[in-house]
Amino acid sequence: MELIQNLLLGFSVVLTPLNLIWMVAGSILGTILGMLPGLGPTTGIALLLPLTFTMEPATALITMCAVYYGAMFGGSRSSILLNVPGDGAAVAACFDGYPMAQNGRAEAALAISAIASFIGGLIATVAFVIVAIPVARFALRFGPPEYFMLMIFALSATAAISKEALFKGFISLLVGLMISTVGIDYQTGVLRFTFGLMELQTGIDFVVVIIGVYGLGEVFKNLENIASGGGLQAIQKKFGRIWITLDDWRRSIIPILRETPVGFLVGVLPGAGATIAALMAYNNEKQLSKEPERFGTGTIEGLAAPEAANNACSVGALIPMMTLGVPGSGTTAVMLGALMILGLQPGPLLFQQHADVAWAVIASMFLGNVACAFINIPLAGLLVRVLAVPPKVLYPVIVALAFVGVYTINFSVVEFVLLILFGLVGYGMKKYKVPTAPLILAVVVGSSMEQNFRMALMLADGDFGVFFRNGICWTLFFLAIGSIAWPFLSSRIKLPWNRS
Amino acid sequence: MRSDVLVGAVSILFGMAYTVQTLHLPKAMVGNPWAPLFFPLALGVLLVAMGIVVLLKGLRHHPSSAKKGGSKRLIVVTILICLAYTALFERIGFIPSTILFLGGLLFAVNGAKAWIVNSLIAVTFSFGVWYVFEKIFYMNLP
């Protein structure tokens, strides 16, 4: 009963004209940003972040969530039509989506990817509603030592995604934490690493880091390819009715329902993320299929499964961010940071102190899914025309947007210099294959991680045993160790999703 | 892999510089004087350690044939234009500087042949953004 009351409260907040307009606008912007190759949900949210500074917290969060799942819907458009994934998670949509379009079934491919995303997102949102409150209640037991261990787990899981990049992941993580130490120390007032610059006393704003590393860094990387002669291919612009046949539906529904929980679980755990969820779903279905040889030739269930998992994952990833206040992916880290700018501290207390905001976001997830389905099925033919915009025009505009956005943070041009600097850092990281997600995560949680660390030590008079004071701590400790060891173990044991 | 050697070396250098900087930080007046230094010190030392591991890993593997990177000309040009924008922004105001900035970027990336499209986009964008910020969000741009 309490649950339904809360949901009703949420819907009553969302169903104001302003919030609805922003939700739809966010969904459209997100879909477009997700579609454009090289601009994923993280970059999209980062670029649109300054827009939300003047909004009410609930409106801001609703807008950002809309951009987030809009990007998840949109990512597969360019996979299907161009064989170029719009973001990492849409890689799996290339395997069967592009062959489908080549076989003249682009309409069915666009339709099923939106339908699968819709069902996956919807079921995951129901799961979110059921899981969120118990998790938040449990997290009320967390003190500084538990939070510190939780952050260690979240960070190491994000850094240790692959065996090859394990150490580079940790380098990225450490540099992120270092960036977060710049500025005044909250507990003692000592100025750290400000180099005498007044502007650095309040620290480096993580929005600058995010827009620099993701937005500018991405553009720099792409400028290199434009120069070497890359460009967009011709794109199909004429479509028939974007819908599926009964036979398509019959083939897809079971894979969709089967892979949604997989995606959701992968999303809740920190680190893995939507790309892995989609690849896992694809490989699961290939193994379970009676005709695995048809996968890769344009079979509809090979597109439906990863799309459902992808969206379920993106909803699952919001759970640790909203209920614990610790994000498990780059994108949710950006959203967490945005909430902090608005003066909200996500975490267990969010559901008590700002129940209206928390439940409005949940309600908006239901409505946003519907909005995205509408945008992506009837309007798909119109929206994919964005893919025809030449990147040579697009990238300069993105650079300009990045500068305008960054200016609105502090209204100072010092941020411009930092932006260029972090753009170069992001470019270098992408060029030398250093993962960027750990850096972003660390920049956002770094300061609170250090505070928790020192508070825990103060409470225990400097005794490090406080970090192992109870079962929660030990569990988190072993999870962190396990997440680092996992890439090594899983490469020894043959797991289905390592094959692709 | 050459990239590992580079990443490792840069990490070691940065980690050492950061650690040295940390040791020169002022001590706290209240509480444990080392409290603000402890966390950064751990970070610096760990970064150096990680850098060494990545460097050794890179040296152990035989250098694979270096992948031919694309041209860096556009990146350098973009950065120069960005720096010019930084210098001009507060002096000549948002609209003129942004028209020059985006126009310059478009000319560099999209080519001088498409000058009509370039100018149109630069002018529309600058006035559009200015309008949105001044009239809808009530933020003042210089």
ipTM of the complex: 0.89
Contact of A425 with A213, CB cutoff 8 Å: yes
β-bridge mates for residue A191, sequence order: A184
Contact of A219 with A395, CB cutoff 8 Å: yes
What's residue A230's pLDDT?
45
CA distance A447 to A299: 48
Q: Which residue of A has its CA nearest to B35?
A: A454
Contact of A10 with A367, CB cutoff 8 Å: no
CA distance A44 to A64: 9
Domain count, chain A: 1
**With the C-alpha atoms ordered A494, A495, A500, B2, is the resulting torsion angle positive or negative?**
negative
β-bridge mates for residue A92, sequence order: none
pLDDT in tens, chain A (500 residues): 688 888 898 899 889 999 999 999 999 988 888 887 767 777 788 888 877 878 888 898 899 889 888 888 888 888 888 887 777 778 888 899 999 988 888 889 999 999 999 999 999 999 999 998 899 889 888 999 999 999 999 898 888 876 667 889 999 999 999 999 998 887 787 888 888 787 788 888 888 898 898 888 888 888 887 755 444 556 676 777 778 888 888 889 999 999 999 999 999 988 777 888 898 899 889 888 888 888 888 899 999 999 999 999 999 999 999 899 888 888 888 888 888 888 888 888 888 888 888 899 889 999 999 999 888 888 877 788 877 778 788 889 889 988 988 888 778 888 899 999 999 999 999 888 888 888 988 998 888 899 899 889 888 888 888 899 888 999 999 999 988 888 777 766 655 554 44
* CA A379 to centroid of chain Cα atoms: 24
CA distance B53 to A473: 29
Q: Which one of B25, B57, B105 has the shortest CB-CB distance to A396?
A: B105
Q: Which one of A185, A225, A433 has the shortest CB-CB distance to B36?
A: A185
- Which positions in chain A touch B99 (Cβ < 8 Å)? none
Is B78–A219 a contact, with Cβ atoms under 8 angstroms apart?
yes
- Which positions in chain A touch B54 (Cβ < 8 Å)? 167-168, 171
Contact of A29 with A70, CB cutoff 8 Å: yes
Residue B122 — pLDDT band, cuts 50, 70, 90? very high
**With the C-alpha atoms ordered A452, A458, A462, A465, is the resulting torsion angle positive or negative?**
negative
CB-CB neighbours of B64 under 10 Å: 9
SS3 labels along A92-139: HHHHHHHHHHHCCCHHHHHHHHHHHHHHHHHHHHHHHHHHHHHHHHHH
Mutate to test the interface with B, among A51, A59, A148, A188 (most CBs of B within 10 A): A188
Is B121–A175 a contact, with Cβ atoms under 8 angstroms apart?
no
What's residue A99's pLDDT?
92
Closest CA to A74 of A93, A60, A61, A59: A93
CA distance A266 to A264: 6
Helices (H), chain B: 2-23, 35-60, 73-92, 94-110, 115-131
- Which positions in chain B touch A22 (Cβ < 8 Å)? none
Q: Which residue of B has its CA nearest to A181?
A: B40
* Predicted confidence (pLDDT) per residue in B27-52, tens digit: 777 777 777 888 899 999 999 999 99
What's residue B65's pLDDT?
47
What's residue A237's pLDDT?
67
CB-CB neighbours of A248 under 10 Å: 20
Which residue segment(s) compose the domain that A340 sits in?
Answer: 2-498
CA–CA min distance A456, chain B (Å): 12
Is B7–A168 a contact, with Cβ atoms under 8 angstroms apart?
yes
Q: Tokens 């799996």 appear where?
A: A92
